[in-house]
Amino acid sequence: MGRLLKLREAHKTDAPATCSVVWAHDGSHLATSCASDTEVLIHDLSAPPPGRSGSAAGSSPVVLRHHKEGVTAISLGPTAGPLASGSFDHSVKLYSFPGGTFQGNVTRFTLPIKSLAFNKSGSLLAAAGDDDGIKLISTIDLTISRVLKGHRGPVTGLSFDPKHDYLASIDSFGTVIYWELSTGKQLHTLKSIAPNYNSDSSVLNTLSWRPDGEMLAVPGLRNDVVMYDRDTGEKLFNLRGDHEKSVCSFCWSPNGKYLATSGLDKQVLIWDVDLKQDIERQKFEERVCGLSWKPVGNALAVIDVMGRFGIWDNPVPASMKSPTEGVVFNEPNVLFEDEDEDEVLGKGISCYSGSLDDTIEKGSGDFSPISRKRVKKRGPLFDEGEEEVLQEIDSRKRRRESENKRGDGEIRERGARMQDAFQAGSTPPQEGKRRFLCYTLLGCVTSLENDGFSHVEVDFHDTGRGPRVPSMTDYFGFTMAALNESGCVLANPCKGEKNMSTLMYRPFGSWANNSEWSMRFESEEVKVVALGKNWVAAVTSLNFLRIFTESGLQMHILSVNGPVVAAAGSGDLLAVVTHASDCLSSGEQILEIKVFNINEATQTISGRLPLTPYSHLTWLGFSEDGRLGSFDSKGNLRVYSDQFGGSWLPVFSVEKARKSEDENYWIVGFNATKLFCIVCKSPESYPSVMPKPVLTILEFSSPLASSDLGADEVENEFMMTNLQLSEIRKKIKDMEAFGLDVTTLDDEAFSLEVKLDRCILKLIASCCHSDRLVRATELARLLNTQKSLKGAITIVTASKLPILQEKFSCILEERMLDDSKTPEPIPIVRSNRKASNTIQPPVRLSPMMERTPDLNNRTPNTIKPQIKSSPASETLKLVKPHSSIRENLAQGEEVSKDRELGKLEKLATFVKVKGNVTSEVAGKEGSSSATENAKPELKIPINPFAKVKKVT
Amino acid sequence: MAGQSDHSLSIFSAAEVEFIAEDEMIEIVPNIRMDALNLLCGDFGPFLPQIPCKVPLWLAVALKKRGKCSIRTPDWMSVEKLTQVLEAERESPREFQPLPFHYVEISRLLLDHAHDDIPEVYMVRSLIEDIRNVRFHKVESGLETISGRTYAVKLKNLSAMEVNLVRPFMVRVLQAFDKHDSPETVQQADASASKRPQVVDRGLRVSLSCVTC
């Protein structure tokens, strides 16, 4: 490295100060700034022939004097976009480029600005500094579109993800935050991963995305540069070499193959990132604080802390690939302007990200020039060096493969890839640690590998009931398992030719000895297993669904439609998810689900399995009551429902439930209203066997749109209760068809109806608050019982809405009319239950409902006739209860005057205690006949059906 | 211990204090399926395997003895937290660190009955013993500072067991000082003090406030 780069003074400074430099996109201009200088300079390089002497062009630069204090940051928009500058004077200004005309002030901060960044399209400018927020400014109308708060120290580096999903920022404490641009949320917070410069303001931490957006470079703590994964924020690898002090600045080559870094040790290094090897270096007199690659050529602009800049031509040796090769240019004609001999263009103008594997291979093909350089450097190490690099390439490939297997989000998003088969509730193998082969609400199957064979243990959570299962030594290397009360099934994939795929079933309790059995598969591999009542299912690589009985009899062999993804069994039902076709071009998978009833040999569900875009299936299973659910990698639980002819309802989203960023939810199961999961602290995404994981219960919540009502919780409850109710009603219907006893279910349905009514009353109350009268009326129509309808009338009376009062009374009247039309008393119990499935509540049969108005009206003897009366005489009496309500309300209005609106909810609970209230009212009003009459009726159980039975 | 000079004056015995502490709530992870228990002190459960729920300590210990649950160690009983507390106790000779009011009793019960559920149980045991010793040493050295002019002693964050040990002694000391300060009331004070030591004569304020945070 004999030649020393000559630097030319651009900014005058007495003390070291942070300076920056940026290239124009066509390489014709260069903009520089310095923190101790108020000027921004635009140097024209194209006017005289581009200098190869290492010095910049001679013509005098355009000077922009708009800042009052030193300029700390500059950033250039895409393709001749505006130039932005930020300064100690707290302002951000925009200029045209390369003309340098002042376009305006973008924003002002309360403290100095330290960092600026444009996004790739130039529509957003991010600015940050000592203020506590990062401002995102739309460059079209210069409005602040978002302020991102989360850093505890001055933000010194910003970088927009080239794919425009994220913004990465770093502060002087060395904390890096990934922000999601669409929501403004913090995705990952990586604390103290970069050097802490909080006490030293002359050095600013920076960070930068690789131009393909796949990784983020951040200065590391050990004089290195560390690469972090785009999506997960995990550390990928680091570039460590000849820097003797911390890296303070770096810049990616336009194609992302090379990285230029400058350290506090006054060196600038050029790295080949794929090989993780430094290929060139240069020492300077002063620390270089600004670096910028020429967008269209092999040149690097550098600026040091004394405000002197220069252009380093050919930092990448001519024998190696050009730093611009493989870049998609915006303007093709630019390509031919610059005729650097080492520019190999048009060979493969493709997106870098699309051909990563390709690049790796090319990297190994282009091997000799690199090793030649290494020979020069440390001659005798040639062989070793080559091997090392080869190994590196190899390990890198392996890593990518394993990532693919894991189904990493990054890979998934980029290349459309179909996910592999998985066993729900299993965790990946870990060296020397026990892993779950299967974890359900019932128990778990764990395995620990030890010297070529493993120990498999089966544990039930409920130690009181589950059988004790002796542990087992497994010579097959089982990786799949399924478990239920009566047994467990284990299977292993084939490993080479010797080790065939085996399926083994162990019953836990059997009257005969040796009832364990196993099956071997030649040239076929078990992919997933499932277990149900008296059957075992396995789906294999030949897309066969093989069904065995509990004793090992081969019962059925079916072909499934595609490569299997997952399977789950419960009772008679077996669900199998397969790939329906290759992924869409956007990367979304197309999965198909079929549910079989094994005992009846029928197919109950067949259709597509919905997934959140860009996610993959991570769990599939049945709840205890036999409902099917699926969970995807974006954390959404969907439950299959018969509504709308069979559809999947999203009932839970991790996004909403997540309490803190570093929690991952590993689903175990669900029931009618709750999700059971294990909370894992990031970065762990799955639980370990020891210590025993503890389940966490999360309530379901629908992905509701945020409504104007401001009662999200109640709305959610409404949705969920409705769903539950419809499920139960369906079950009642099914059971009735078989002529089974449904009393307990009826009880359950009734209590759900009451719950739903309470919820609707709350909604009516909040509708009244926010003046949504039509919605309130609609809600009133949904009320199940007349009792709650009366409660609703009380609510609207209290909130002084006579219109609604009128409407509700009409609804009540209609209800009563409808009721009287239905033939009574109902002779057959079953038809009565049918009625419970309609909106018309079965409750109307209970005299308690009708009693209220009558008691108040002091005509208690109308109760009986009302039930038994013929439709003709009913019309007469219909007026009565209605008018009595009015009277009642008139009385109530006085009482309600002093009631505050806030007590509305209390009113809603009125419904619940109404039985008692009425008796109280009756007692107070002093009519002894009323109390006498009321009392015996109060003994009637709340369940209306019990009453009906007595009647019949 | 040192403070328990006169048994008849001690308000509670150690066993009684422990009995009171057994009403503290603690989280358990049952390994059985059981319906909710409807007890006089409240409803607990339902118990589902591997799903944590909160129960009183006595119930937790009873279930643990039968092997029906594992007890989740409270946050403050981790080695990390206890180390912090111990350090802070040593650093500040005049203050007590905030710990649960019944920390001595709870830790004792857990160490006796649920030692297999506590990670690093030996470390925890020795840390708690150290903390107890440091704190009691503080109490004792604080007693030395009581003089004739002391009318009240304020001890913030003192725990149940600690205060139970020193309360009778301290009250008597304060009363004795007060008595000697005012010789004319000796007769009267003597008579009443022997009967009911807690009775405060002539505006003497004896306040032992135990504030748990």
Partner A contacted by B68 (CB < 8 A): yes
Within 8 A of A461 by CB-CB distance, chain B residues are 31, 49-50
Instruction: Tell me: pLDDT of A14 over 80.
Output: no
**CA-based nearest residue in chain A for residue B27:** A694
Partner B contacted by A926 (CB < 8 A): no
Residues in contact with A377: Cβ distance below 8 Å, sequence separation at least 6, in sequence order: none
Question: Could you read off the pLDDT of A497-536 as tens digits, one per residue?
Answer: 667 899 999 998 878 878 889 998 888 899 999 999 999 9
Instruction: Tell me: pLDDT of A783 over 50.
Output: yes
Nearest to A756 by CA among A778, A728, A784: A784
CA dist., res. A917 & res. A934, Å (int) = 11
DSSP A860: G
Element (H, E) at B42: strand B42-44
Q: What is the mean pLDDT of residues A328-352?
A: 39
Partner A contacted by B46 (CB < 8 A): no
Q: What is the percent of chain A with per-residue pLDDT over 70, rounded to a whole number?
A: 74
Mind telling me how many Å the CA of B51 is from chain A's nearest CA?
Answer: 5
Mind telling me how many Å the CA of A691 is from chain B's nearest CA?
Answer: 9
CA dist., res. A626 & res. A16, Å (int) = 71
Return the exposure string of B66-105: e unless at least 16 CB atoms fall within 10 Å of the residue's CB, then b. eebbbbbbbebbbeeebeebbeebeeeeeebbbbbbbbbb
Helix axes B160-181, B14-21, angle to 10 degrees: 130
Return the exposure string of B135-152: e unless at least 16 CB atoms fall within 10 Å of the residue's CB, then b. bbebbeebeeeeeeeeee
**CA-based nearest residue in chain A for residue B29:** A694
Quote the pLDDT of residue A318: 77
Question: Could you read off the pLDDT of A538-584 as tens digits, one per residue?
Answer: 999 999 999 999 999 999 999 999 999 999 999 999 999 999 988 88
Radius of gyration (Cα) for chain A, nearest Å? 37
Mind telling me how many Å the CA of A694 is from chain B's nearest CA?
Answer: 6
Q: Please report the residues numbered 172 through 201 in chain B whose beta carbons come closer than 8 angstroms to any beta carbon of chain A.
A: none
Which parts of A461-507 are beta strand (E)?
472-474, 480-483, 487-492, 501-507
Partner B contacted by A705 (CB < 8 A): no
Mind telling me how many Å the CA of B50 is from chain A's nearest CA?
Answer: 6
Other C-beta atoms lying within 10 Å of the C-beta of residue A462: 18
Higher pLDDT, A399 or A31: A31
CB contact under 8 A, B68 and A464: yes
Partner B contacted by A676 (CB < 8 A): yes
Question: Could you read off the pLDDT of A97-149 as tens digits, one per residue?
Answer: 877 888 888 888 888 888 888 888 888 889 988 887 888 888 777 788 888 88
Mind telling me how many Å the CA of A426 is from chain B's nearest CA?
Answer: 17
Quote the pLDDT of residue A670: 92
Q: A629 — phi, psi (to 5°)?
A: -140, 155
**ipTM of the complex in this document:** 0.71
Give me the total of CB pairs closer than 8 Å, taking one residue from chain A and one from chain B: 35
Question: Which range among A298-302, A350-354, B64-68 shows the weakest confidence by mean pLDDT?
Answer: A350-354
Residue identified by tokens 């739309």 is A138
Partner B contacted by A461 (CB < 8 A): yes
Quote the pLDDT of residue A337: 38
Instruction: Tell me: pLDDT of A720 over 70.
Output: yes
Q: What is the mean pLDDT of residues A703-729?
A: 86
Chain B interface disruption, residue of A462, A465, A666, A688, most B CBs within 10 A: A462
Chain A interface disruption, residue of B31, B47, B72, most A CBs within 10 A: B31
Residue A608 tokens, joined: 């597509």
Question: Could you read off the pLDDT of A55-94 as tens digits, one per residue?
Answer: 444 567 888 888 888 888 888 887 667 888 888 888 888 8
CA dist., res. B173 & res. B143, Å (int) = 9
pLDDT (tens place) for every residue of chain B, 213 residues total = 444 445 555 678 888 999 999 999 999 999 888 899 999 988 998 898 888 999 999 999 999 999 899 999 999 999 999 999 999 999 988 888 899 999 999 999 999 999 888 988 999 999 999 999 999 888 888 888 777 677 777 778 888 888 888 888 888 888 888 788 776 655 554 544 444 444 444 434 444 443 333
Residues in contact with A806: Cβ distance below 8 Å, sequence separation at least 6, in sequence order: none
Within 8 A of A462 by CB-CB distance, chain B residues are 31-33, 49
Radius of gyration (Cα) for chain B, nearest Å? 21
DSSP A704: P
As a whole number of Å, the end-to-end CA separation of chain B is 26
Quote the pLDDT of residue A408: 42
* CA distance readout (Å), A478 to A448, A449, A453, A493, B162: 10, 10, 9, 8, 56
CA dist., res. A444 & res. A482, Å (int) = 9
Return the exposure string of A8-39: e unless at least 16 CB atoms fall within 10 Å of the residue's CB, then b. eebbebeebbbbbbbbbbbbbbbbbbbbbbbb
As a whole number of Å, the end-to-end CA separation of chain A is 105
Partner A contacted by B54 (CB < 8 A): no
Partner A contacted by B52 (CB < 8 A): yes
CA dist., res. A166 & res. A157, Å (int) = 14
A587, with CB counted inside 10 A (0-12, 13-18, 19+), is: middle
Higher pLDDT, A29 or A481: A481
Strands A617-622 and A628-632: antiparallel
Residue A26 tokens, joined: 């066509």
CA dist., res. A668 & res. A440, Å (int) = 6
Within 8 A of B32 by CB-CB distance, chain A residues are 462-465
Residue B119: cis peptide before it, omega within 30 degrees of 0: no
CA dist., res. B64 & res. B114, Å (int) = 7
**Per-residue three-class SS string for A781-832:** HHCCCHHHHHHHHHHHHHCCCHHHHHHHHHHHHHHHHHHHHCCCCCCCHHHH
Question: Could you read off the pLDDT of A832-874 as tens digits, one per residue?
Answer: 444 444 444 444 444 444 444 444 444 444 444 444 444 444 4
A101, with CB counted inside 10 A (0-12, 13-18, 19+), is: exposed
Please, which pLDDT band fits residue A741 given cuts at 50, 70 and 90?
Answer: confident
Instruction: Tell me: pLDDT of A13 over 50.
Output: yes
Within 8 A of A436 by CB-CB distance, chain B residues are none
DSSP B18: H
Element (H, E) at B195: helix B186-195
**HSE on the CB side for A407, CA within 13 Å?**
18
**CA-based nearest residue in chain A for residue B71:** A694
Residue A214 tokens, joined: 């796949």
The whole-chain average pLDDT of chain A stands at 76
Mind telling me how many Å the CA of B66 is from chain A's nearest CA?
Answer: 11
**CA-based nearest residue in chain B for residue A462:** B32
Quote the pLDDT of residue A376: 38
Residues in contact with A853: Cβ distance below 8 Å, sequence separation at least 6, in sequence order: A880, A881, A882, A884, A885, A888
Quote the pLDDT of residue A895: 42
Instruction: Tell me: pLDDT of A45 over 50.
Output: yes
Higher pLDDT, A611 or A882: A611
Strand ranges of the sheet holding A590-597, from the earlier edge strand across to the other edge:
A564-570, A573-581, A590-597, A602-609
What is residue A377's three-state secondary structure?
Answer: helix
Instruction: Tell me: pLDDT of A244 over 50.
Output: yes
Question: Could you read off the pLDDT of A919-937 as tens digits, one per residue?
Answer: 444 444 444 444 444 444 4
Higher pLDDT, A340 or B147: B147
Within 8 A of B68 by CB-CB distance, chain A residues are 463-464
Question: Could you read off the pLDDT of A586-623 as tens digits, one per residue?
Answer: 878 899 999 999 999 999 999 999 999 888 999 999 99
Partner A contacted by B78 (CB < 8 A): no
Residue A141 tokens, joined: 């109308």
Mind telling me how many Å the CA of B89 is from chain A's nearest CA?
Answer: 30
- Report long-range pairs for A174-177 (Cβ below 8 Å, ≥24 apart): A174/A205, A174/A221, A175/A151, A176/A207, A176/A216, A176/A218, A176/A228, A177/A148, A177/A150, A177/A151
Higher pLDDT, A256 or A875: A256
CB contact under 8 A, B119 and A691: yes
CB contact under 8 A, B32 and A464: yes
Quote the pLDDT of residue B187: 54
Q: What is the mean pLDDT of residues A191-208?
A: 81
Concatenating the DSSP letter of every residue in A85-145 gives: EEETTSEEEEE-TTT--EEEEEEE-SS-EEEEEE-TTSSEEEEEESSSEEEEEETTTTEEE
CB contact under 8 A, A694 and B52: yes
Question: Could you read off the pLDDT of A164-199 as tens digits, one per residue?
Answer: 888 899 988 888 988 888 888 888 888 888 888 877
Instruction: Tell me: pLDDT of A315 over 80.
Output: yes
Quote the pLDDT of residue A380: 41
User: What is the helix, strand, coil percentage profile of chain B, to 5?
Assistant: 50, 10, 35
Question: Could you read off the pLDDT of A359-398 as tens digits, one per residue?
Answer: 344 434 333 343 333 333 343 444 444 445 555 555 555 5
Partner B contacted by A468 (CB < 8 A): no
Partner B contacted by A140 (CB < 8 A): no
Nearest to A186 by CA among A172, A174, A176, A200: A176
Please, which pLDDT band fits residue A707 given cuts at 50, 70 and 90?
Answer: confident
CA dist., res. A468 & res. A716, Å (int) = 42
User: What is the helix, strand, coil percentage profile of chain A, to 5?
Assistant: 30, 30, 40
Quote the pLDDT of residue B201: 41
Residue A144 tokens, joined: 């602040």
Nearest to A300 by CA among A322, A278, A331, A276: A322
Minimum-distance CB partner of A695 among B33, B51, B67: B51
**HSE on the CB side for B51, CA within 13 Å?**
20
Question: Could you read off the pLDDT of A785-794 as tens digits, one per residue?
Answer: 888 888 899 8
Strands A443-450 and A453-460: antiparallel
